[in-house]
Amino acid sequence: MKKKFLSLFMAIIMVLSVSVSVYADETSPPATRGEIVKTLLMAADAYQPGINKEYVMQGFNDLRENEPAKKVEALVMLSRAFGELPEPVGNDLRSGTFGVEFTDVPAWAKKDIDKLAKAGVLTGKPDGTLGANDNITIDEFQNIIARVWTLKGSHLNDDFYEAINKEWLNKSTILAGEIMGGVFPELHKQNNNKIEKIIDELAGKQFTEGTKEQKIADFYATALDTKNRNKQGIEPIQKYVKDIDGAKTIDELVQADLTLEKELGLSSLFSFAIMGDAKNSSENALYYTGLATGLDKNSFITEDEKAKKAYIQYMAKLLVSSGEKESAAKAHAEKIYGMEKSLASVSLEPHEQGDVNKYYNPYTIEQFDDMFKTIDMKQVLKSMKVDSANKVIVIDEKLAQKGAELLNEANLDVLKAYSKVQLLSATGGLLSDEFRDAANEFSATLYGVTGEKTDQEIAVAKTTGTMGGYLEQMFAEKHFSPEAKKDVEQMVEKLIATYEERIKSLDWMSETTKDKAIKKLDTMIVKIGYPDKWDTTLDKVAIKTYDEGGSLFSNTFTVNKAYIDNTKAKLGKPVDRTEWGTSVYTVNAFYNPLNNEITFPAGILQAPFYDINAKPEENYGAIGMIIGHEISHAFDNNGSAYDENGNANNWWTEEDFEKFKEKNQELIEFYNNIEIIPGVLNDGQLTLSENVADLGGMAASLQVVSNMSNPDYKAYFESNAEMWKSTTTKEFAAILSKNDVHSANKIRVNRTIVNFQQFYDAYGIKPGDGMYVAPEDRVSIW
């Protein structure tokens, strides 16, 4: 499928959500009672003005200030200090911990502990206890204080993100069938509505065969036709399932897979991608990833029981739908899980996947063939029409080696089941409702998704995704003016110039390295709104309704196969740097290190990210920061490994690179172990590249604002905070914390703005405030 060949490209490009500190340190010593009281008097003063020591410690006849505080004592004092707490609604209700009855709370503390538990700010131990008599550290305590600040959301000096967005967060909802809500999903929905209007104007009308209008209208008709889709059931892929089931040897299974790839462009056993060679980015090269897994690495490694059960159940339902008996399907699903766990255990960590030193492992064709002891990979490459490659770049070496090891006769039974699951999960959304229902149930269990999208919403989404080559043109013509394109281009020019000024003024980098960095800036390719020339792949394909012998399945794979064939034809050819790697209506922005390019689709160049009529400070706090963010990816821990031509090539002096690594380490520590939701922490190592980009993007965009006459810093910072407002399920927030290279949106705001003096001056942030970070503890890089 087209998506399979683009997946690596999207993985490598960089994307865009104290006195009283909220950042925990597990090594800190137990807090004394005196420290607890002192901390509370500062933390709660804005919420209960005039709060005093006597009130907080009432009932404790002898405070014994120097003795360690028990957790229950600290929590009772916290309850008193903050007084009445709001009833959790909206995002607080989604992310808090509720319905817990702690078994170890003494009677004298029950009222206060119940109040905090009802507010959702307490987490307990797996055995159902609070740990009432345990010691508590100041850092643990401050995490609980931060949860109360979040719940209150009334004092921006303590929690800027929450205070600015509180009204929205309290009213926030997640649409049926969606996984999150916020500015990005809202704009995505708005763009979809605009596209739906374009589609609706064409739907049901007769057009000349072969025209853009006919193809869009007829594809949409098949996407809406659930009756015929359900009538077909599994029939569109039945012959492929039969071939897999009938395989008596590994070679026969491979041939079944190659038939599938030849006819649909879909492979269950071999995952290749074609894109610029990271060491010679002007030429397209062949990359290999290895066998896919259906859960993230962390879920496998930690033996997450909920994820395991949901995934096995999902696979079993797919196999039953393909004709297997329930008992056999469940047994096969369990074996697949075991096999995938063995693959996940050796695979790259999420934060390693963008590191060229990890993913660039070139093999000669002979070496690649030798990796597979039971399969003729030369024949596989020839069948897939990628045998013109003179090497294969193996992205995840250990994963590929483990997969090659598993492809043997002894594993034939589980490999056949695995192939069917891969096929069914890739095509199920185009088949009968039973496949979609299984996927919805899996998402509901694993990610906390509630409700389902309507048939019309699904049809629009499928049409938008598959017929984008035409719909993107129509969207750009209607919703992104030449004036807006020119204005954004000028913003980019100004930000690149500002970035150059900042590089020149760095005190930690030598002139030699600065010259190379500036050269990379000066040669950066900028793509705004839409491409200069439109892709014509869809002109070559025919779209047919069910009455004409077509189907949603056949139309989708006819289009996907055409894109895949185009991609294969590029192998070994020069890279076309004018091509776009994303759709025009995407609500996102990108840096591609292999092209040294930044891309801002028309989809994100809409309000509230960008509004040609908004205050300049508001635009710079939103899209300006994002532009600076993408520029910064050229100089983050991953992007900095590539030169101005997009080649992985060290342009640093040894001394400068050591200083750069030290600054990266400071950022890792600065963004690490910050609580996202109760019990879920941000990972500073995983999110390093995006944190570098956020910090650099804010530094550059804020400097542009600082050069304005009488700049409105509040407009800048509040626009930035509003841009990142979001809500998601508790389950998905936990999964993102282990897999997403972006910090949680709240952390992207609160932990970034505290490094800039303009923020302190604009809002009067002072020592003792939750948002205060002492100057010597602030971080900077670009």
Q: Is residue 518 part of a domain?
A: yes
**Residue at a domain's end among 138, 158, 178:** 158
Residue in the block written with tokens 């983050």: 636
pLDDT at 81 (0 to 100): 96
Task: Please classify residue 189 by burial: count the beta carbons closer than 10 Å to its beta carbon, then call 0-12 exposed, 13-18 middle and 19+ buried.
Answer: middle
**Residue at a domain's end among 129, 158, 187:** 158
pLDDT at 9 exceeding the cut of 70: no
pLDDT at 62 (0 to 100): 62
Instruction: Report how far apart, in Å, the C-alpha atoms of 393 and of each of 274, 275, 354 are.
Output: 10, 11, 14
What beta strand segments (E) does 123-240 contain?
Answer: 180-182
Q: Is residue 180 part of a domain?
A: no
pLDDT at 5 (0 to 100): 38
**Token pair for 231:** 């009538």
How far is it, in rounded angstroms, from Cα 97 to Cα 94? 9
| DSSP state at residue 589 | -
pLDDT at 11 (0 to 100): 46
pLDDT at 65 (0 to 100): 82
Length of the chain as a residue count: 782
Domain span at residue 730 reads: 481-532+585-777
Q: Which residues of 514-550 are buried (b: 16+ CB within 10 A; e: fewer)?
A: bebbeebbeebebbbbbbeebbeebeebebbbbeeeb
pLDDT at 15 (0 to 100): 57
How far is it, in rounded angstroms, from Cα 136 to Cα 584? 51
- The tens digit of pLDDT for each residue in 230-251 reads 999 999 999 999 999 999 999 9
pLDDT at 58 (0 to 100): 78
Q: Are 646 and 593 in contact (CB under 8 A)?
A: yes
pLDDT at 39 (0 to 100): 95
Nearest to 636 by CA among 697, 596, 689: 689
How far is it, in rounded angstroms, from Cα 139 to Cα 141? 5
Give me the DSSP letters along 731-759.
HHHHHHHHH-SSPPHHHHHHHHHTT-HHH
pLDDT bracket for residue 585 (50, 70, 90)? very high
pLDDT bracket for residue 22 (50, 70, 90)? very low
Q: Is residue 326 part of a domain?
A: no
Higher pLDDT, 262 or 20: 262
The one-letter amino acid code at 104 reads D
Q: Is residue 253 part of a domain?
A: no
Nearest to 255 by CA among 416, 94, 111: 416
| Beta-ladder partners of 362 | 393
pLDDT > 70 in the chain, percent: 96
Nearest to 179 by CA among 735, 750, 683, 748: 735
Residue in the block written with tokens 């009204």: 167
pLDDT at 55 exceeding the cut of 90: no
Nearest to 515 by CA among 654, 653, 699, 692: 653
How far is it, in rounded angstroms, from Cα 685 to Cα 668? 5
| DSSP state at residue 686 | T
- Cα within 13 Å of Cα(633), Cβ side: 29
Q: What is the 3-state secondary structure (H, E, C) of 62-114?
A: CCCCCCECEHHHHHHHHHHHHCCCCCCCHHHHHHCCCCCCCCCCCHHHHHHHH
Q: Are 133 and 72 in contact (CB under 8 A)?
A: yes
How far is it, in rounded angstroms, from Cα 631 to Cα 599? 10
Cα 520 from chain centre: 27
pLDDT at 12 (0 to 100): 53
Q: Is residue 120 part of a domain?
A: yes
pLDDT at 550 exceeding the cut of 50: yes
pLDDT at 572 exceeding the cut of 90: yes
| Overall average pLDDT of the 667-675 stretch | 97
pLDDT at 141 exceeding the cut of 70: yes
Q: Is residue 735 part of a domain?
A: yes
- The tens digit of pLDDT for each residue in 727-737 reads 999 999 999 99
Whichever domain contains 489, its CATH number is: 3.40.390.10
pLDDT bracket for residue 63 (50, 70, 90)? low
pLDDT at 13 (0 to 100): 56
- The tens digit of pLDDT for each residue in 428-439 reads 999 999 999 999
pLDDT at 690 (0 to 100): 97
**If residue 125 lies in a helix (H) or strand (E), which one and from where to where?**
none
Higher pLDDT, 14 or 595: 595
pLDDT at 643 (0 to 100): 97
Report the Cα–Cα distance between both ends of the chain, in Å, rounded.
Answer: 39
Q: Is residue 272 part of a domain?
A: no
How far is it, in rounded angstroms, from Cα 382 to Cα 371? 17
* Cis peptide preceding 601, ω within 30 of 0: no
Nearest to 376 by CA among 279, 255, 462: 255
CA angle 434–440–442, rounded 5-degree value: 105
pLDDT at 61 exceeding the cut of 70: no
| Overall average pLDDT of the 642-659 stretch | 97
Q: Are 459 and 195 in contact (CB under 8 A)?
A: no
pLDDT at 24 exceeding the cut of 70: no
| Overall average pLDDT of the 615-636 stretch | 97
The one-letter amino acid code at 5 reads F
**Residue at a domain's end among 130, 158, 186:** 158
pLDDT at 669 (0 to 100): 98
pLDDT at 14 exceeding the cut of 80: no
- Cα within 13 Å of Cα(204), Cβ side: 3
**Token pair for 512:** 């030699």
Averaged pLDDT score across all residues of the chain: 94
Q: Are 589 and 600 in contact (CB under 8 A)?
A: yes
pLDDT at 27 exceeding the cut of 70: no
pLDDT at 274 exceeding the cut of 50: yes
| Overall average pLDDT of the 509-523 stretch | 97
**Token pair for 10:** 């999207």
**Token pair for 215:** 């193809």
Alpha helices in 448-545 (DSSP H): 455-466, 468-479, 482-504, 511-522
In angstroms, how far apart are the furthest CA atoms of the chain?
89
| Beta-ladder partners of 458 | none
Q: Is residue 52 part of a domain?
A: yes
The total of structural domains in the chain comes to 2
| Overall average pLDDT of the 598-614 stretch | 94
Nearest to 340 by CA among 303, 306, 368, 372: 303
Q: Determine how β-strand 680-681 pairs with β-strand 726-728.
A: unpaired
pLDDT at 8 exceeding the cut of 80: no
pLDDT at 693 exceeding the cut of 90: yes
| DSSP state at residue 646 | S
Residues near 366 by beta carbon (within 8 Å), at least 6 away in sequence: none
How far is it, in rounded angstroms, from Cα 538 to Cα 711? 48
| Overall average pLDDT of the 220-233 stretch | 96
